[in-house]
Structure 1
Amino acid sequence: MEGQASRPLATGAGTSNWFVWKGCRTMQTGYKLLLAATIVSSSIGWSHQVSAQNDTYQIVSTSYQQPLTTVETYVGSKRVETVRYAIGSVDHLNDDLMYSAETDQVVDLKNSKGTVKPVAPAPMRIKKYKNAFYAMSISGFNQFSLTKYSLDFKKIGTTKRYTGFGKELIVTGGKLYVLADHMKGNDYAITLHTFDTTSFKSLHQKTFKQLLQADQIRQDGSQLKIYGISPENDEKLTILSYDVKKQHVTKTMTTNQYVKGGVEKTQILSKDTELIFNQDRMYEINHKTKQVRVLYDGKHDLVDYAYDAKTKTYHVLEEITKTAEFRVKTLNRHFKPIAEYRLKKSDSVRPFRVL
């Protein structure tokens, strides 16, 4: 092996010379290892830098004074494309649809013409299921409505109205689930409504007394994960698992983490863990051990994030509230910042999504 040799048989001065030779040899080997480590370290740093310089992401910004929303494409800090849409006050973007709870308009981003289509006023959620779009809108105080549309947004059937302030919508397995707040005098309850997708017939209602507030709902096989806070644990994240077949709660988990502003987004990380995103931090929840750890704390308000599966990086949109500036931070798979890009201020539009 390198660094090893047959030991001389001589003694005395010869032995001393051997130790000198051996020491020099060891120093040379150590120097080579140090040099190699330096090169590897430099290479890693350099590759991160190059990767950051070639970051590609999009920023969606909207105007609250005029019908204008822009989608800007960036490579690093350089803006390479801007697409404008004649719709304003946009606050939702999902299933390639862009719409606002303050208007009665929607834009299908897959439509190259960017045509603005009319929908029922105040759409809270629009979800695609098979060959149709299902919209849940606020139709009055403590009232939501359901409307079905074709893929070119032609209305199918009639709009149905129900009691409750609709917040979230999931369409799966031929059923439609609406998570809603119910207000009756001083009473306040979180209820899950189940409808069929043909006539919006009400099939079941379930009230969750374990929750004081609910912000997010996610499908997990035959379970629906519902994210909110419980009355007994002041603003600490509580997750319910609801079996849609058995129609009852199978598991309740309350963490030791506060969720300022509620849960904005979630992402599955592994079999047992998922990412929780809100305006304060990015958390990892371990459903097996019930442990929570902070993945990223940007010290500023977190607006949105997008995961790039190709580069295994996270683009986080942040707002520096003191200066009303926005920036994008790129995090590696260990949630360590490797790049930062400040967005140019605009008096006409405000960023609200990163893609």
Structure 2
Amino acid sequence: MSAVPVTIGTRMPPPAVSADAPASGALLDTHGRVHRDLRISLTDRCSLRCTYCMPEQGNEWLAKTSILTLDEIERVARIAAAAGVTTFRLTGGEPLLRTDIVEIVRRLARIEGPEGHPEIAMTTNGIRLPEVLPDLIDAGLSRVNISLDTVQRERFRELTRRDRLDDVLAGIAAVQASPLRPLKINAVAMRGVNDDELVDLVEFAVAHDAQMRFIEQMPLDAGHTWDRASMVTRDEILTALGERWSLAPVPGRGGAPAERWMLDGGEHTVGVIASVTAPFCGDCDRLRLTADGQLRNCLFSTTEYDLLPILRADAPGSLSERGETKRDTDLDAMLRSCVRGKLPGHAINDPSFLQPARGMNAIGG
């Protein structure tokens, strides 16, 4: 089938995706990047209301009927794994708000691709972790990233519009006491908000056997209020940390979004994800699946590839000569066309850049 991107926002869609996308083999785009990581958003809803992500009130949530079911998520993941995807990262919104989260992890962990079973990771605010972490580990969860922008109680309440710091800290403690490693703590660095707390956050992470990772604030807020001047840059972050520790770069970054530095030559590291000032698009190996079934080949893409018509086609797919259902064949074709349509980079620093219409909570982290 031919892939039809869904235009999101006001930018014109890119040229029609070439029909000569390879029908098998690795998910290779036209710039030589092999894609092995699929970020799967499970919901656009969240238990917090972080100021840089979404408004406190008046959010337009995705219709419940459009949210992918457990079976649909598993089906897309199975096709992706067969095409070479080796990591599934569950995101949101807040993925732990899904009541079927343990079964989602269990189903995905059982999938087997050409290189074996995939790694199952999760990005979460950590609030429900003490309650569900043992079951998630038993189901096959491999790694956890927890978002924490401040360790100051009043500042946390102002940033998230919720008084839930103790719950997040309990989630971090639960992972620290578990076998899951590495534990990563993510913080968005914001000027005049938490830029005075960078060293404190690293010290907190080290004390909890975690890797601190700072993220440059990106134009992905639902209210479209992002201002480049309020963003704390990679260089500013490193300068602040360099006043406390000697920083030595960790080699072998590969396709990872974070550059890492060793602290004082020891075992602890800190990372910086500098999507704005030091883009790493040339090594990007990630695709995204939104909670409502849209494939995205870039976090900042203004086009999406709609899987719902395939997943919810009335007639069951007939078996092909290769033993695949037509529905699965169509999903694979859409996945490959999405990869083939990927641009060289996100162009944040180009004057023509347009912020995606969706906010980060609807795209998936």
Tell me the TM-score normalised to structure 1 length: 0.29
* Higher RCO (CA-CA < 8 Å; seq separation 6+): 2
Q: As a proportion of its length, which structure holds more helix?
A: 2
Q: As a proportion of its length, which structure holds more strand?
A: 1
From the CA coordinates, give the structure whose radius of gyration is larger: 1
